[in-house]
Amino acid sequence: MEKEIDKKSVILQSDENRGEVQIADDVVAMIASLAATEVKGVHALSGNITNELMSKVGVKKLTKGVKVIINESNVTIHLAVTMEYGFNIPATCTKVQDKVKTAVENMTGLSCTDVNIRIVGVK
């Protein structure tokens, strides 16, 4: 019997006796989103225009503004961030990159190779 793997997930662990552990891309995106918004100076993560319009009509996605690319056990994360006024952008972004990388690696066991940040606004 062949195993069917969801295309939007990655196998973290596989054991013949116990089964397997898969993690969805959205879970990695949620971890990255929560870690990024914990950094002082980050106002919010911003999605594309479709996500923004959907949130205005009541459909909220907590991973908006986060794109996750998983290649085997390596993860690349792209964040679209709205900053708070008065904070040093390069220093704050470095903190976000460190916090997101640490959170994703500690919680999933995957190797976070890149955390790319695009500043989309200042509030």
pLDDT digits (tens, 9 = 90+) for 65-111: 899 999 888 999 999 999 999 999 999 999 999 999 999 999 999 99
Q: 61 exposed, middle or buried (CB, 10 Å; 0-12, 13-18, 19+)?
A: middle
- Reduced to 3 states, what is the DSSP secondary structure of residue 37? helix
Q: Which of 16-20, 59-63, 105-109: highest mean pLDDT?
A: 105-109
pLDDT for res 10: 83
- Count of all residues that appear for the chain in the document: 123
* Spans of all domains in the chain: 24-122
- Do the Cβ atoms of 79 and 46 come closer than 8 Å? no
Asked if pLDDT for residue 34 goes beyond 90, the answer is: yes
Provide the 3-class DSSP secondary structure of residue 119. strand
The reported pLDDT for the residue numbered 64 is 79
Domain range 24-122, its CATH number among 3.20.20.70, 3.30.70.1350, 3.30.413.10, 3.20.20.300: 3.30.70.1350
Q: Between 5 and 85, where is the model more confident?
A: 85
Indicate if the pLDDT at residue 53 is higher than 60.
Answer: no
Compute the distance between CA of residue 19 and CA of residue 15 in angstroms, rounded to an integer. Answer: 5
Q: How confident is the model at residue 7 (pLDDT cuts 50, 70, 90)?
A: low
